[in-house]
Structure formats: C-alpha cells, structure tokens
Amino acid sequence: MQGLTRRPLATAGIAALIVAAFIPFFCHNYIVDVALTIVTYGILALGLNIVVGYAGLLDLGYAAFFAIGAYTTSLLETLTGLNFWETLPFSIVFAGIAGIVIGYPTLRLRSDYLAIVTLGFGEIVRIIATNLDITGGPNGIYGINPANFFGHDLTAPKAVYTLALVFLVGVLILVIRLGQSRLGRAWTSLREDEAAAEAVGVPTLRVKMLAYVIGALIGGLGGSLFAARFGAIDPTSFTYAQSVSILIIVVLGGRGSIPGVLVGAIVVAGLPEALRFLHNWREFIFAVALIILMLVRPQGLWPARLRHIAAPSVDEAHATPHADPAEQIAETTAGEPDVLLEARDVSRVFGGLKAVAGVNFTVHRGEILSIIGPNGAGKTTVFNCLTGVIPPTSGAIIWNGRPLTKLAPHKVVARGLARTFQGIRLFDNLTVFENVLVGMDHRFHVSLASEMAALPYARRETHLHHAAGRNWLEFVGLASQAGLRAGDLPYGDQRRLEIARALAGQPQLLLLDEPAAGMNPTEKQSLMGLIRRIRDLGTTVLLIEHDMLLVMGVSDRVIVMDRGQVIATGSPQDVQSNPRVIEAYLGSDEEDEEDAPEISSLPAGALA
C-alpha cells in the first residue's frame, strides 16, 4: 500500500471487512447464509482472478480445483478420521498438483484452446467423481465433520461464516501481495503481450504455471471450506456452470481488480437471492441483467486501476550503489572475449521460401554494426534466429565462444542479448516505470516468499531494482514520465522506452529493429546520439535500419543483405561504393541501363 492515493481504498476495504465481520451479530440466519455463499465465491473468484485477471489465461474448468479440495477433505475425514485442519494441507496440495498435471502439457496452447482444455478437465474431474464408488458416485459423500476450533464445532452458520471470513482475509492478503510482487508484474506483462514478455526475459511458461498452480491452491482451500460447511458434497456442486459463475464474477467485477472481484461476488451470488420475488422469471432476468451490465461496463463494474509504483527520486536513485547504467553494463561485460557473436551459416526456411540462406558474420565487442538491405532481405528473420524467437533451420550461433542455439527467448535474454521490435510492443497497461522493471526482472533472484514477506534482503534488492530502473529511464530521457501509462506515450517516447526496457536487462548486445521508423529528423538525430551513448556504456549495438543517414552516420561497420544472403560487409564508405550493393538497391545495369546513377556521387542519405 504505497502512496497516498491508495490509502482511501485500503481504509474503505478494511472498513467493509469489519462491517462484514459483524453481520452475524445483527442479521438473520438467512442473510448470514447468503453472506457465507458470497464469501465462498469471493475466495474462489480471487483464486481464479490470478489466472484470468492477472495472467490473462482463460480457465473454464476452475470448479475442478474446488472439487478436488472438497473431495480430499471429505474422503480423508470419512476414511481416515483426520479432522478438518489436518485435511486442509492435503486439499491445497492435491489441488496444486492437479494444477501442475493439467497445466504442464497444456499451457503452451493459445488462450482459446486453453479454454476448451480446462473445460474438458473440469468435466473429467466431475465425471470421475460421479462414476467412482469411492467418491460415493452421484450421491456424493455424507457425514463430513464440521471444522473444530478449540473444542467447538463450527456448525452454526454464524460460526462457519466467521471462519470463511478469516479465510477470505488470508486469501486477500495473499493476492494483494502477489499482485504487488515481481511475479504479479510478470503476470501482467504476460497478459499484455506474451511474446514481448518472453523477449524481455520473462520465463512465460513458468510464470503461467505459477498463476495456474496458485489459483488451484486457492480453489482447493475453497473446496475444503465448502465440504466443512455443508457436511455433504455431491458432483452437482462442481459443474461447468459453477466454473462459469466464478468466471462471470471475475469478468463482471473487473479482471485483475480485487475490489472488483469482491463486488462481482456480491452481485453474482447475491443478485439471484434479491430477485427471488420474480419466481420463474428470476434466472431469465438475471441473464438479461448480466448482458446489460456487461454492455454498459465492458471493463467490469470496478475495473483494475493502473498499478503505481513510485519511482525513487533522482538523488536517491543516483546514491544507490550498483544502480548506475555504466556500472551495470560493466558488470556483465568484464572478462569476455572480443568476438561477441558469430553467425555461422545460419539458414531459415519458411515453407518453400529461404528467408535466410547461409548467413555468416561476426559481431565485435563494443562496435555499432548495422544490417541493411531491401525489404524481404531476411534482416528481421536473422534477428529472430539470434534471439531464439524462431530456431534457425540450420547453422550455428556462437555467443562468447559458446553455442547459442535452441534456447527459449527468455534464456537468450539472460545470456545478454536484448532486443526491440519493428512494431512497438510495450506493455501498454503498465506504467512507463513498470515496463522497465519487467525488462530487468530476470536479473533478480530473491524468492517469491521472501519478497512477499518483505524480508530485509528482499527489500534491499527491490530498492536496487527500482533505483536501477529509474536510472535507465533517465538515461533515455523519460524519467519525468515514469508514472504514465506506457500506451499513452507519444510515438518517439515509446521507441525510447522500448530501448530502455531492453537495456535494463544489462545486455552485452542490444538488437534494435528499425528504431528510427516513423521518427522525424529531430528525433532521428537524438536517436543517433542515444545509440552512441549506449555503445559508450560498453553495450554492443546491432541495428537494422532503412534510414541511410542514420546508418551511415552511426555505424562502425555495415552488413548488406539481399535475398537471404550477405552480399557485402565493411565500413559505411566501402559498402556505399560496392557494385553489388548498388545493384541490390537500384537494379542491375541490364535491367535499367540508363538511369542507374553512380552511388558515390549521391549524398549519404540517398539510399533511403
């Protein structure tokens, strides 16, 4: 809860919880029962919110984890005589294991495919529970003991309600802390743009898996509570409709918004009760109300707000040891060989098209090297092969003397290659500052648990993290925009933010894919200055660019590609007078005898 702006919300939330805690003292048992249902749904929806709201994965089978928790508690209690509290860890762990079992093979799927797979998983769990004898078949399990608290059975609705509320508070603290953690930020980056997240070093598969498993754990907890509340369970409580209800809570309330999810739980679990006077029309009116609410508020009733992390002040950031850009870069480049990267005979075939056909080149430490060539020459494909986005069909990439092939993009980033994209790919709904923080995330290693517990060394690392991020923003000249939504920045600033995000990962090699595209001459001038300053820090720069003024002005060497091959390499001057290069750009003499001008007579910018 940093920053003054968040205090009113936190205060209101705590006040609401206190009021909720007093419901049993003032209200009729019926109201308490409805409130208990709302709280149970609230817990489940907070769990699903991690998957759907934070990480942006569609899950239509969340009730499966709820079922696994409920059946684990019920079976252990009735078969082994354990009490509620003793079964609780098993419920949570089994639900988590189920999350791993279903998540591991399927989380690589695109989101819509994931939807049907999770739906199928939910149905499989329910059908198994219906068909096995041990789970009591369609009749389910009876005679489950209530939770016991220091000798008192929690059977009365009021007592169960209080227990559920305590669970809700625990889950709330957990999900709020998770949302503020580095993992929470990684989830959001995943939701915003999965490929970009991977390309700036977020291990997307693992991060997805964590969302799925933590969501499952909370589902298991909700299941145990459910079993202890009713004393009996059967498969009809764990249907697809149940999963859908929980999903509706999350989306209607506001994906990723904790107050939103709680409001959603109140609406979805409470509204049908309030509509009882409609008798037969109740469900129909509820459905229509749901459609109308969604049409009126597509972002949800209480949409998630931009998460603001205050960037440290200039002085504070400068005073933090090891947070200075030059020092950060020097850390990574010390003692490495002079040849940074070598592409050996790299090829990439798409269907019948040889986009890259046996390319060889070396990148020397500390240089600015440009790759130029007509559109379709294979430049971006080379970038994609270097950064692990697509594997080369053949050939090898040698990085600091060791092969760098078949690594996932986030691992390539960890080795020290960072990139920007031809079309800007920022995390639009994160702040400028947070975009940079995501870029440097892979450098930090404090465990999630110690981060959430705010242990001293974890706080130190967070402090360094923030100071370094602040300094990178300053390096590209965006320090004063730190708190803005990244998607709201003007175009040129977005380009610079993308560069800052890539630099924040302490790369030895920075790959820039057409950074000057769409920039005006003034912006291009300042970009040239920025590229030189990056090189001066010690970071090698590999640049794809069509703007010849910029290429010729800034590059130490130039590689020219055409039709998937390197046709020339050398200094800017050598390349400009190379006949093969002129032919690639302007056509050969046979095709165009009279009009081909002497390239040497042209100004440096003419090739653009």
Please report, as a single letter, which amino acid is at residue 75.
L
Helix (H) or strand (E) holding 461: helix 456-476
Q: Please, are residues 68 and 95 in contact by the beta-carbon 8 Å criterion?
A: yes
Q: Binding to other proteins by residue 52, rule CB under 8 A?
A: yes
What whole-number distance in Å separates Cα of residue 38 and Cα of residue 45?
A: 10
**Does the footprint of other proteins cover residue 290 (CB under 8 A)?**
yes
Rounded alpha-carbon distances, angstroms, from residue 423 to 98, 138, 247, 350: 39, 54, 33, 21
Per CB under 8 A, the list member of 234, 451, 513, 514 interacting with other proteins is 513
341 closest CA partner among 415, 420, 414, 439: 415
Q: How many residues does the structure list for the chain?
A: 608
Q: Beta 509-513 vs 339-350: how paired, if at all? A: unpaired
Residue 21 beta carbon to other proteins: minimum distance, rounded to whole angstroms: 31
In the bound complex, what is the minimum distance in angstroms from residue 413's beta carbon to other proteins? 14
Asked whether position 8 contacts other proteins by CB under 8 A, the answer is no
Residue among 73, 328, 380, 506 that touches other proteins (CB under 8 A): 380
Asked whether position 298 contacts other proteins by CB under 8 A, the answer is: yes
Beta carbon nearer to other proteins, 505 or 572: 505
Which stretch in 210-218, 249-257, 305-313, 430-438 sits in contact with other proteins by CB under 8 A? Answer: 249-257
Q: What single DSSP character describes residue 52?
A: I
Q: How far is the CB of 61 from other proteins (least distance, A)?
A: 10
Residues in 413-472 that interact with other proteins by CB under 8 A: 421-423
Residue 428 and residue 486 in contact, taking contact as beta carbons nearer than 8 Å: yes
User: Minimum Å distance from CB 287 to other proteins?
Assistant: 4
Residue selected from 95, 190, 252, 385 as contacting other proteins according to rule CB under 8 A: 252
Residues with Cβ within 8 Å of 288's Cβ and at least 6 positions away in sequence, in order, are none
Least CB distance to other proteins at residue 416 (A): 19
If binding means CB under 8 A, how many residues of this protein chain bind other proteins?
53
Q: Return the residues of window 383-412 that contact other proteins according to CB under 8 A.
A: 383-384, 389
Q: To the nearest whole angstrom, how small is the minimum distance from the Cβ of residue 112 to other proteins?
A: 6
Q: Which stretch binds other proteins (CB under 8 A): 2-10, 139-147, 247-255, 538-546?
A: 247-255
Sequence-ordered alpha helix ranges (H) in 63-181 = 63-80, 84-106, 111-131, 157-180
Residues 81-140 that bind other proteins (CB under 8 A): 105-106, 108-110, 112-113, 115-117, 119-121, 123-124, 127-128, 130-131
For 512, the enclosing helix (H) or strand (E) is strand 509-513
Report the phi/psi class of residue 417: left, alpha or beta, with left for phi > 0 and alpha for psi in -120 to 50. Answer: beta
Binder to other proteins among 18, 295, 334, 449 (CB under 8 A)?
Answer: 295
* Interacting residues of 442 by C-beta distance below 8 A, sequence separation 6+: 201, 202, 203, 410, 413, 414, 505
Q: Which tokens belong to 543?
A: 């640049």
Contacts (CB under 8 A) with other proteins, residues 315-374: 350
| Nearer CB in complex with other proteins: 17/248 | 248
Any contact of residue 248 with other proteins (CB under 8 A)? Answer: yes
**H-type alpha helices, 416-455:** 432-440, 448-452
Q: Please return the burial class of 533, using the count of CB atoms within 10 Å of its CB with bins 0-12, 13-18 and 19+.
A: middle
Give the nearest distance from C-beta 251 to other proteins in angstroms: 5
Nearer to other proteins (CB atom), residue 3 or residue 391: 391
CB burial of 209-232 (b: ≥16 within 10 Å; e: otherwise) equals bbbbbbbbbbbbbbbbbbbbbbee
Please identify, using beta-carbon distances, which residue of 8 and 423 lies nearer to other proteins: 423
Q: Interface residues with other proteins (CB under 8 A)? A: 52, 58, 105-106, 108-110, 112-113, 115-117, 119-121, 123-124, 127-128, 130-131, 195, 199, 240, 244, 247-248, 251-252, 255, 280-281, 283-284, 286-288, 290-291, 294-295, 298-300, 350, 380, 383-384, 389, 421-423, 513
